[in-house]
Amino acid sequence: MKKRSSLIFALLLTTIASASTVTGHLKQASEWANTVYLSEMREYKFIFSGSSYSIVDSQRISERGIFKFEHLKPNTLYRVSARLVADDIPGIIEDGNRDNYAFVITGDQGNAVHIEADISRLWLSYAMLSSTATLADVNDKILYLRDLRKPIYAKMQSLDARPLHTLQDPDKIAEYQLSLVKEIKAVTESNNKLLLPFLLKETNANLLALAAGLYQIELANNKDNDLITAHLDNVEKSTPSNLLSTVLIVLQKSRKTIKPDFLFDRSYMLMEGKNFNFLSPRIPAKFILLDCWASWCSPCRKSIKTDLPYLSKKYTPQQLQIIGVVVKDKFQPAEKAIKADKNTYLQIYDQDKFLDEYFEIEGIPYYVLINQETQEIKAFQVLVDLEEYLAKEL
């Protein structure tokens, strides 16, 4: 183990008690609030979610930059997060220049972990000192996973976002946005090839769940999905883990075969109050794109104002028709958002949550593409994947 200052080591030793402890020393910055939040990663969906539901504790940072979380569960994956002064909750920030989260795994009862980091770059800057060699080995693997991802963060830093502020044509803005996403996607796919061997060999359930989140296993192709599922299933059977079981559920859902009959055998309520059926009258387009969104979802509304109009202009009405589906939202906020965004697409209001529950939508925006010629239905969570698929088919 590398040498650490005697002061930090002494601080770590004083935290060892009957329960697990996480302490830290953060280099502070004026735009960041002097509070840190601790989230317990009980389910896969919480790992990279900005939701406040996973937060189990918060602590004010002292003038010297010190914080301390006590009485934690043993052998548990936690996320330490910071927030900007302007934000109410510590949502996920990650743009290549700033990030606001760090992961840590607690050890057996009485063990402790100490974090040293820059508050404005928690993930990319933090180092950890653990009270036992075994715990150090586990947390060092978190840093190994972080280092594997550094090419992605370097690419994020290198991208030139200035045209997004200078371009006037919405089509050009959307086109440029897609080009940036494609660059990130290419690096991510290359990076996942390095991450896959870790997912197929590691036996620590917490590390596997974190690696699955970094890999974004919900987007894995069927071949990788099968390989990852087989290994994780074996680990979970030998060492039961509630967190890992939620990863396996996501893997299973992502392979779900979507059948078309559910969509056409019923009517839906439109936001304008009328009933709608896909067959009467039949929509004269090869593809129908369902854009699942909500008024509170900023990425959804940004896509509605830029990306979807770009696709509408790129393809003819005979090639593609776009229909909005309001999910996880109340009627009045959705109606207000439609007017504010000048959203002219036909809008289904999923009042009975039929579509939401059928597709088991957890994150939005969520896109469903229907091929009316072959009756094939595909779901996408990343717009650039949808755009690339359409470019091949049309």
Least confident segment among 36-45, 160-169, 198-207: 160-169
pLDDT number for residue 298: 86
Task: Assess whether 241 and 346 both reside in one domain.
Answer: no
Task: Assess whether 209 and 292 both reside in one domain.
Answer: no
141: in domain = no
Using the predicted structure, report yes or no on whether residue 357 has a pLDDT greater than 60: yes
Task: Assess whether 94 and 118 both reside in one domain.
Answer: yes
- Omega prior to 281 cis, within 30 of 0: yes
Task: Assess whether 248 and 299 both reside in one domain.
Answer: no
Q: Residue 139: which region, alpha, beta or left (left: phi > 0; alpha: psi -120 to 50)?
A: alpha
pLDDT number for residue 262: 63
199: in domain = yes
Task: Assess whether 54 and 99 both reside in one domain.
Answer: yes
Which two structure tokens, joined as six digits, stand for 255?
């392979």
> Which of 238, 254, 270 is the C-terminal boundary of a domain?
254
pLDDT digits (tens, 9 = 90+) for 342-352: 999 999 999 88
Site of tokens 């509408």 = 312
DSSP state of 94: B
The number of distinct structural domains making up the chain is 3
| Higher-pLDDT residue of 298, 211 | 211
Task: Assess whether 159 and 283 both reside in one domain.
Answer: no
Which residues neighbour 100 within 8 Å (Cβ) at sequence distance 6 or greater?
Answer: 32, 81, 82, 83, 84, 90, 92, 93, 94, 119, 120, 122, 123
Task: Collapse the DSSP code of 97 into the 3-class scheme (helix H, G, I; strand E, B; otherwise coil) and give the result.
Answer: coil
Using the predicted structure, report yes or no on whether residue 161 has a pLDDT greater than 80: no
144: in domain = no
CA of 389: how far to CAs of 19, 192, 255, 383, 393, in Å? 51, 21, 18, 10, 6
Q: Is 336 exposed, middle or buried (0-12, 13-18, 19+ CB in 10 A)?
A: exposed
- What are the DSSP calls for 137-181, one per residue? HHHHHHHHHHHHTHHHHHHHHH---THHHH---HHHHHHHHHHHH
Q: What are phi and psi of 262, to 5 degrees?
A: -60, -30
Task: Assess whether 183 and 231 both reside in one domain.
Answer: yes
pLDDT number for residue 259: 59
Looking at residue 38, which CATH number applies to its domain?
2.60.40.1120
138: in domain = no
- Distance, in Å, from the CA atom of 79 to the CA atom of 100, rounded to the nearest integer, reads 10
Whether the Cβ atoms of residue 21 and residue 4 lie closer than 8 Å to each other: no
> Which of 222, 254, 286 is the C-terminal boundary of a domain?
254
Domain boundaries, position 84:
6-131
147: in domain = no
In 3-state terms the chain splits into helix, strand, coil percentages (rounded to 5) of: 45, 25, 35
- Distance, in Å, from the CA atom of 198 to the CA atom of 277, rounded to the nearest integer, reads 47
Task: Assess whether 17 and 86 both reside in one domain.
Answer: yes
Using the predicted structure, report yes or no on whether residue 244 has a pLDDT greater than 70: yes
| pTM for the predicted model, two decimal places | 0.71
- Distance, in Å, from the CA atom of 195 to the CA atom of 216, rounded to the nearest integer, reads 11
145: in domain = no
140: in domain = no
pLDDT number for residue 213: 94
pLDDT digits (tens, 9 = 90+) for 170-197: 778 778 877 877 888 888 888 899 999 9
pLDDT digits (tens, 9 = 90+) for 68-126: 999 999 999 999 999 999 887 777 877 767 888 999 999 988 899 999 999 999 999 99
Least confident segment among 112-116, 157-161, 292-296, 329-333: 157-161
> Which of 131, 146, 167 is the C-terminal boundary of a domain?
131
Task: Assess whether 125 and 12 both reside in one domain.
Answer: yes
Task: Assess whether 25 and 81 both reside in one domain.
Answer: yes
> Strand 66-72 to strand 376-380: parallel, antiparallel, or no bridges (unpaired)?
unpaired
Q: Average pLDDT, stretch 266-295?
A: 88
Looking at residue 348, which CATH number applies to its domain?
3.40.30.10
344: in domain = yes
| Higher-pLDDT residue of 312, 221 | 312
pLDDT digits (tens, 9 = 90+) for 127-159: 999 999 999 999 999 999 999 988 888 888 888
Using the predicted structure, report yes or no on whether residue 10 has a pLDDT greater than 80: no
Task: Assess whether 211 and 324 both reside in one domain.
Answer: no
Task: Assess whether 319 and 275 both reside in one domain.
Answer: yes
